[in-house]
């Protein structure tokens, strides 16, 4: 396998008693670092291909009283789930998760899906895991709102992050109402519904970087905290870039939880603050990663300048942008040892079990282990499959 370079301790500097070479009055240094493919971190994204869509379909089935749904109902949200093929074909890829059967309605065969017993047991384990870790979930949501200028975010913006943050899928109905002392729903200027933080907890207003620095930060010394740096194998830095990065690490660190309006947005010091915001934001996700598009609506709430996501390209030793699975996924390098998370949230472990089930079902189906069962159950009769395809195409046309 690929060997990873260790953290570049050269850039983990102590606070200097001398003034930094780059003062705030200086402009943003024009440095461009190349993007280098990281096959190991690409594996992190590739392993989760189809996982989110599978879990959404699973939840749709579990929410139904009968524990099963006809294919035409499951197909309604195909585009929102990012499924590019027919939903029935997608679900048949994973027979260890979804069990297909035919129910007769008004004399007509209706293709339906339910969960396998193994998948249902894992779903129940997932629910118990979310209940046990609810306190941490609430704290992460509080910290997300504390990063914003007005302590408010539209529900639509939170929805884009809820999978990565490990929030309940119906958090606005099942979680928020139980904490009226912390959250309240508000109507925004554009008539959307937002979530507002009602109580500021100073104990939570400490960034992960400050926690990692330990005793020095407990004494209030956060003048020049440096970010852990790790590069892809084969990544070479010119001396000019090395010098700039060394000086950049020595710049003052501004906590993402304090007001930074005094910073000139066109300085390296301001850029270091932006890096700190996203460093903290990625630590609020259970997988230490999120798709770049999920961050697009955070510019105004976080008080960031235009083209703020350029910090990901300028700091490839802190962030890695994976283009695997037709996405642009921002990954926090320091959180991984090869392709494994160093600190694994329990919910990540549950999702890994889903991935193993999906992989097993997909491989077994590819080997033909499910053909006989499906043929005996008349699930793959060509006429029925063609009829089902016509039903889905009709439903797609209707939804359009």
Closest CA to 125 of 312, 352, 300: 352
**CA quadruple 25, 30, 31, 37: dihedral positive or negative?**
positive
Position 11 pLDDT exceeds 80: no
Q: List the chain domain ranges.
A: 9-46+201-341, 47-123+351-399
Token pair listed for 104:
């007769």
Position 9 pLDDT exceeds 90: no
Structure-model confidence comparison of residues 216 and 378, the more confident one: 216
pLDDT at 51: 97
pLDDT confidence tier of residue 393, bands split at 50, 70 and 90:
low
Asked whether the beta carbons of 131 and 347 are under 8 A apart, the reply is: no
DSSP letters, 139-178, are HHHHHHHHTSSSSEEEHHHHHHHHHHHT--TTHHHHTGGG
DSSP letters, 233-267, are TT----HHHHHHHHHHHTSPP--TTS--TTS-TTS
Structure pTM? 0.84
pLDDT at 34: 79
Per-residue pLDDT, averaged over 165-192, amounts to: 96
Beta carbons within 10 angstroms of residue 27's beta carbon:
10
Position 171 pLDDT exceeds 80: yes
pLDDT at 398: 39
Structure-model confidence comparison of residues 55 and 214, the more confident one: 55
Position 396 pLDDT exceeds 60: no
DSSP letters, 62-103, are HHSTTSEEEHHHHTTTTTTTT--S-HHHHHHT-TTTEEEEEE
Average pLDDT of the residues of the chain: 85
Position 206 pLDDT exceeds 60: yes
Position 25 pLDDT exceeds 70: no
* Least-confidence region, from 135-144, 210-219, 228-237, 311-320: 210-219
pLDDT at 392: 54
pLDDT digits (tens, 9 = 90+) for 27-41: 566 777 778 899 999
Between strands 108-115 and 152-154, the pairing is unpaired
pLDDT digits (tens, 9 = 90+) for 220-279: 555 789 999 998 877 877 888 888 899 999 999 999 999 998 999 889 999 999 999 999
- pLDDT over 70 for what percent of the chain? 83
Phi, psi (deg, nearest 5) at residue 290 = -160, 160
Closest CA to 237 of 2, 3, 1, 10: 10
- pLDDT over 90 for what percent of the chain? 65
Beta carbons within 10 angstroms of residue 388's beta carbon:
22
* Distance (Å) of CA 90 to CA 84, 114, 163, 399: 9, 14, 20, 19
What is the chain's Cα-based Rg? 24
How far is residue 52's CA from residue 80's CA, in Å, rounded to a whole number? 11
pLDDT digits (tens, 9 = 90+) for 112-170: 999 999 999 999 999 999 999 999 999 999 999 999 999 999 999 999 999 999 999 99
Closest CA to 227 of 293, 315, 324: 315
pLDDT digits (tens, 9 = 90+) for 47-91: 999 999 999 999 999 999 889 999 999 999 899 899 999 999 999
In CATH, what number does 47-123+351-399 get? 1.10.10
């Amino acid at each position: 396998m690929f060997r990873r370079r260790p953290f570049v301790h050269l850039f983990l500097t102590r606070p200097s008693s001398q003034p930094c070479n780059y003062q705030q009055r200086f402009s943003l240094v024009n440095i461009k670092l190349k993007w280098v493919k990281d096959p190991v971190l690409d594996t992190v994204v590739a392993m989760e291909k189809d996982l989110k869509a599978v879990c959404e379909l699973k939840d749709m089935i579990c929410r139904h009283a009968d524990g099963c749904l006809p294919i035409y109902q499951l197909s309604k949200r195909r585009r929102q789930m990012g499924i590019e093929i027919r939903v029935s074909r997608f679900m048949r890829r994973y027979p260890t998760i979804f069990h297909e059967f035919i129910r007769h309605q008004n004399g007509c065969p209706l293709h339906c899906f339910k969960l396998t017993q193994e998948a249902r047991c894992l779903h129940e384990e997932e629910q118990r895991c979310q209940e046990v870790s609810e306190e941490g979930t609430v704290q992460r949501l509080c910290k997300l709102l504390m990063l914003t200028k007005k302590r408010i975010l539209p529900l639509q913006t939170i929805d884009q992050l809820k999978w990565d943050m490990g929030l309940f899928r119906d958090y606005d109905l099942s979680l928020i109402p139980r904490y009226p002392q912390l959250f309240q729903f508000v109507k925004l200027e554009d008539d959307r519904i937002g979530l507002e933080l009602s109580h500021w907890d100073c104990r939570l207003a400490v960034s992960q970087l400050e926690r990692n620095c330990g005793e020095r930060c407990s004494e209030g010394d956060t003048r020049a905290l440096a970010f852990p740096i790790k590069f892809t194998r084969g990544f070479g830095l010119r001396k000019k870039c090395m010098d700039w990065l060394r000086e950049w690490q020595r710049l003052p660190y501004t906590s993402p939880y304090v007001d930074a309006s005094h910073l000139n947005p066109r300085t390296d010091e301001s850029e270091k603050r932006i890096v700190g915001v996203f460093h903290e934001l990625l630590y609020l996700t259970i997988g230490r990663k999120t798709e770049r598009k999920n961050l697009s609506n955070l510019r105004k709430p976080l008080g960031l300048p235009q083209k703020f996501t350029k910090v990901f390209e300028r700091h490839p030793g802190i962030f890695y942008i994976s283009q695997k699975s037709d996405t642009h996924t921002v990954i926090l390098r320091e959180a991984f040892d090869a392709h494994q998370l160093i600190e694994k949230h329990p919910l990540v472990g549950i999702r890994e079990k889903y991935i193993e089930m999906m992989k097993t079902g997909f491989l077994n189906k590819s080997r033909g282990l499910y053909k006989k069962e499906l043929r005996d159950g008349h699930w793959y009769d060509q006429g029925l499959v063609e009829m089902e395809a016509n039903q889905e195409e009709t439903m797609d046309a209707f939804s359009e």
